[in-house]
Structure 1
Amino acid sequence: MANLFQLKARMIFVLAALFIFFTGFFYLISFAFEVNPIYSFVLAGFFILFQFLLGPVVVQLSTGLRYLKKGENPWLEGMVKALCDKAHLDVPRLAIVEDPSPNAFTFGYSAKGATLAVHRGLLERLNTEEIQAVLAHELGHIRHRDALVITGISSLPLIAYLIARSTLFTGSTYGRGRKGKDNAGLLILVAIVSYIIYIVGQLFVYGFSRMRENYADAYSAFLTANPRGLISALSRITYGLALAPKEQAGVRAFYISDPILAAHEVKEIADKGDVYDLNRDGVLDEKELSLAMEKEAESTWVRMNSLFATHPPTYKRILLLKQIEKEMKTGISNEKQLYRLI
């Protein structure tokens, strides 16, 4: 675990590295195509703005959410309002996704314009404490403006990817003359460099996203004063998502748990089900699943795979929450003190 200062330092390092990385990249592209670097930055700025404008629309269309009418679900509305009052946040718009998998997500670039969406499966499969913990986690994302930050920085690798694809295609269509071959070689080189920049940039973005998830988990523990609720919820959600149809890949970062990572985690555990089924009833309950995920922390494959995930492995999130729970029993309940444990 890292303390709050170390976490902030890592996030600042990631943002600074991305800025330096892509500033150099844009200068390289400008030099290769003999254009003023200012044009590259202006075009990149327009692309990022386009991403901000398009992002909420993409999330709505890809998830098929439906906004709740006032009074349609008083129980959910009341729980969200109580949490928002405690957090001193504006109440977000509530939406439902008619999906049996247990999940939830938020999007929107300000607290006033945010949307909090829950899957039908979350309301049906989780108990009250678990749902409250999940909602508090999502409110943590709203408080930290994570959708704004993640959308902004994830645009940069996407720019590199688009440049790589377009230059590779253009380079492959050049003529056979010497000049054509020289230009084709330059374009293919730019494409290769762009692909490398894209991959490295994505790793930075994934790492940053995982840090923000840790922050939201800690915030949930603070707001509910019940880390155990989120521990139980994460175990249920991970198992439930592993058995459910996969979500749209483009919106994975917005969910409380990554469906793709969940499937990999549970598969590893299922292969050793007889080891973790302590009461020999043929089913892994939340306690057994939580223990199994902690044991799987020693797996090199799990650690390597987590580098390409938008969320930390569930076992890491559970370990963090258990540490927070231990500290809260000593009297620590301040938000910043809990962040110190991340």
Structure 2
Amino acid sequence: MNYFKTALLLAGLTGFFLVAGYLLGGQSGLVLALVVALGMNLFAYWNSDKMVLRMSNAQEVGPETAPELFGIVQQLAQRANLPMPKVYLIDEDQPNAFATGRDPEHAAVAATTGLLRNLSREEIAGVMAHELAHVRHRDTLIMTVAATLSGAIGMLASFGGLMGGGRDSEGRPLVNPIVAIAAMILAPMAAMLVQMAISRGREYEADRMGAEICGQPHWLASALAKLHAGTQQIHNQAAERNPATAHMYIANPLAAAGGMSSLFSTHPPMEERIARLQAMAGAGGYSPRPAGASRPARSSIPQTGGSPWGSAQQDSRRGPWG
């Protein structure tokens, strides 16, 4: 049902784009909108991951340069039956992370240095499991397409006055000027709301699947509480320079994420996300691994203090918010 809703929302977003093109430019505007939508989506499909990583100043790391992070992602990918994604590190004090890539075979996960400094090993595992859930669900592609279409609608609205709405053979406007003006104002708002609905729905689903991948919902719940506090206190300079990437992060990285702006946030309320995970942990009604995934051999999971990711008691990196 979640995939069906997402497909409907994407179809609706595409419809907004085409209708906006027609209202702002008549038949020629409709054709232009269709061509632009196809072109931008093709470009986003092949290049969005490289663009996002470049804008975030992310640097690829491996088992030699970031052994703990790389090892956690490797174990989680095995549990989720996913190909090993590329792993990136972002030199930002704000604790945060995101995933990108058009499919599981071309995926990448990125974490900030602040995340590694301020979260325990188990909490890091919860965060990276959430990001791998996005990869498994191909949310990175869905959300990139949604952001691309929303941006294109805004671009159409900006140039709407120059398009003139088109005229018939007798020189009369094809579209009522009042309707065209309303489209210039309302189309970007509608597109933003649809993008928000898509992104919020995928975040809830990634929380659920992430808890299943790591096997412990309370790890991710604890991590989200720290991320929420951290993002309120520390600016993410890369995200502030490129706010279009904000929807990809596990926690909203922008400084103006609270108050009235939260009503239009691409992220669901953090309190609700944490409550759902706590309820999931309390009910115990979850699978320790995703459906269809094979359980790794016990010998392949290092056991330290009863946990495959290390003991919370042995890791004192709790950060200033825990």
TM bucket, shorter chain: 0.7 to 0.9
Following superposition, the deviation at residue 256 of structure 1 comes to: 0.8
Which of the numbers 74, 80, 93 marks the counterpart of 2:86? 93
**Which stretch of the first structure deviates more once superposed, 40-49 or 82-91?**
40-49
Normalising by structure 1, report the TM-score. Answer: 0.73
Which of the numbers 58, 69, 78 marks the counterpart of 1:65? 58
Matched residue, 1:323: 279
Which of the numbers 19, 22, 33 marks the counterpart of 2:17? 22
Contact preservation (8 Å) 2:14, 2:149 = no
Counterpart-to-counterpart distance in 2, 1:76 and 1:24: 46
Residues 169 and 20 from structure 1, CA distance in 2 versus in 1: closer, same or farther, beyond 3 angstroms?
closer
> Alignment length, in residue pairs?
280
What amino acid is aligned across from residue 326 of structure 1 in structure 2?
A: G
Identify unmatched segments of 5+ residues in structure 2: 165-170, 292-322
What amino acid is aligned across from residue 137 of structure 1 in structure 2?
A: H
What amino acid is aligned across from residue 206 of structure 2 in structure 1?
A: A
Matched residue, 2:36: 43
Counterpart-to-counterpart distance in 2, 1:331 and 1:146: 21
Contact preservation (8 Å) 1:170, 1:187 = no
Residues 197 and 138 from structure 1, CA distance in 2 versus in 1: closer, same or farther, beyond 3 angstroms?
same
What amino acid is aligned across from residue 185 of structure 2 in structure 1?
A: Y
**Which stretch of the first structure deviates more once superposed, 96-105 or 67-76?**
67-76
Contact preservation (8 Å) 1:133, 1:229 = yes
Contact preservation (8 Å) 1:157, 1:197 = no
Residues 86 and 209 from structure 1, CA distance in 2 versus in 1: closer, same or farther, beyond 3 angstroms?
same
Counterpart-to-counterpart distance in 2, 1:57 and 1:135: 19
Question: Per residue, is there more helix in 1 or in 2?
Answer: 1
Counterpart-to-counterpart distance in 1, 2:153 and 2:105: 32
Residues 241 and 45 from structure 1, CA distance in 2 versus in 1: closer, same or farther, beyond 3 angstroms?
same
Q: Secondary structure at the match of 1:217?
A: helix
Where has structure 1 moved over 6 Å in runs of 4 or more?
185-188
Identify unmatched segments of 5+ residues in structure 1: 172-178, 266-300, 337-342
Normalising by structure 2, report the TM-score. Answer: 0.77
Contact preservation (8 Å) 2:24, 2:183 = no
Larger RCO (alpha carbons 8 Å, 6+ apart): 2
Residues 335 and 261 from structure 1, CA distance in 2 versus in 1: closer, same or farther, beyond 3 angstroms?
farther
Matched residue, 1:236: 226
Which of the numbers 149, 152, 163 marks the counterpart of 2:145? 152
Which of the numbers 253, 256, 262 marks the counterpart of 1:259? 253
Following superposition, the deviation at residue 225 of structure 1 comes to: 1.5
Q: Secondary structure at the match of 2:88?
A: strand
